A = this chain, B = another copy of it.
Amino acid sequence: MESVTIKDIAKRCNVAVSTVSRAINNHPDIKEETRRKIMQVIEENNYIPNNSAQNLKKSDSKTIGVIVKGVDNPLFAKVRSTLAESIARYGYDYYFQYIGISDNEIMEALRLAKEKRLRGIIFLGGNYNRTQEELEEIPVPFVMSTVTIDETVSKSLYSSVSVDSYKESYRMVDYLCSKGYKKIVLLAGSKGDESVGGLRLKGYRDALKANHISIDEKRICFSQDWAEDVFSMANGYRMTKKLMESGVDFDCVYAIADSIAIGACKALLENGKKIPQECGVAGFDGLDETLYYHPSITTIRQPMEKIAEETVRILFSRLHKGTKNRHRVFPCELIERESTMK
């Protein structure tokens, strides 16, 4: 349990701790010979500097914190490397922190900012409505990536990179209408969802209106409130089963997330419905799964790589050039696949 410290190394080398510190941190004024010897002793004794102590002492750190909300979001898993590489390209270190869906990301940010002396923070995911007051506490520049922030919060307080859920949802439904679908069911999120779920719902409503299709509230399926797994295949399956049992007439199912769409497909196919001949299906997000499903599923692809890169770019532009906070919205790509190609 006794771990070896910088003092032990110093003693074993017959030098002062400050010399060891210099060796570790590649300081210029140290003889190459002593440096090598110290590094060798460090190696032999498996010495690892205590990062807590380092951070406690350091004033300047050159590290960016990335707070990811939702380990299980497959959309984020792929972004990790892109973010890491982009940050490294600026010569900064990064520190990823994955937190649970119900954890408070702001608290986590404050904690990390102190602990690791962060220069900037990137938030990935999490749609909770944070107040202006909370956001103001964060002492370093930060970018909300694919996070929806309440409209009442001043835009000058933070940067953001995201997609326009409303517009893209509108586009998808408009497309479905153009394909001749008249009775489009929406598999929505929870009833009170003011975030992406709500926005995509609004896009659905407005697009139908624009296409002169009257909205049948029976065709809007909300997830059960108790369902913690709203964005899951299981939920899509459940909702679609229930829909079919209810006897509501429909010719297309549009889910606000790909995972939900996959569950819906299963329920439809299981009941002998042919996709797309008897019922079209569309999702949202651009998960790989939609491409490999059979039939492949039409979706709206969020350009996650671009989003990640732009997130880092904005952060460093703010850090280095002192630019103001910016808000960038990326267009998505509507990918037409078999599930809607009658």
Residues of B within 8 A of A263 (CB): 292
Complex Cα distance A263/B293, Å? 9
A81, B70: Cα distance in complex, Å: 12
Q: Is the interface of A mostly helix, strand, loop or mixed?
A: helix
- Which single residue of chain B is at the shortest CB-CB distance from A73? B77
Taking a contact as CB atoms under 8 Å apart, the answer to whether A294 and B292 are in contact is: no
Interface residue ranges of A262-291 to B (CB < 8 Å) = 262-263, 265-266, 269-270, 288-289, 291
Chain B residues in 8 Å Cβ range of A115:
50-52
Interface segment, one of A106-114, A145-153, A172-180, A316-324: A106-114
Q: A50-B56, A52-B52, A98-B96 are in contact. Are A269 and B294 (CB under 8 A)?
A: yes
From B1, B48, B265, A107 is in contact (CB under 8 Å) with: B48
Q: In the complex this chain forms, how many copies of it are found? A: 2
When C-beta atoms are compared, the residue in chain B nearest to A84 turns out to be B100
Question: Assuming A72-B74, A98-B96, A100-B81, is B52 touching A288 (CB within 8 A)?
Answer: no
Q: Are A48 and B233 in contact (CB under 8 A)?
A: no
- Is A71 part of the binding interface, using a Cβ–Cβ cutoff of 8 Å? yes
Minimum CB–CB distance for A102 against chain B, Å: 10
Contact partners of A288 in chain B: CB under 8 A:
232-234
Contact flags (1/0) for A83-125 with B, using CB distance below 8 Å? 0100000000000101010000001001101110000000000
Nearest CB in chain B: distance from A291 CB, A? 8
B81 touches A77 (CB 8 A): no
Asked if B71 contacts A98 (CB within 8 A), the reply is yes
Which one of B74, B84, B294 contacts A74 once the chains associate, using CB atoms below 8 Å?
Answer: B74
A315-340 vs B, Cβ < 8 Å mask (1 yes, 0 no): 00000000000000000000000000
Contacts of A269 in B (CB 8 A): 294
Residue of B with least CB distance to A45? B137
Could you list 27 A-B pairs, sorted by A, with CB under 8 Å? A1-B139, A3-B114, A46-B110, A48-B114, A50-B56, A50-B114, A50-B115, A51-B52, A51-B115, A52-B56, A52-B114, A56-B56, A71-B98, A72-B74, A80-B100, A98-B98, A233-B288, A233-B291, A233-B292, A234-B288, A237-B292, A263-B292, A266-B291, A266-B293, A289-B289, A293-B293, A293-B294
Other than the given A3-B114, A48-B110, A266-B294, 19 more pairs (CB < 8 A) read A3-B113, A3-B139, A48-B111, A48-B114, A51-B115, A52-B52, A56-B56, A71-B77, A81-B100, A96-B98, A233-B292, A262-B289, A262-B292, A265-B292, A265-B294, A266-B291, A266-B293, A289-B289, A293-B294
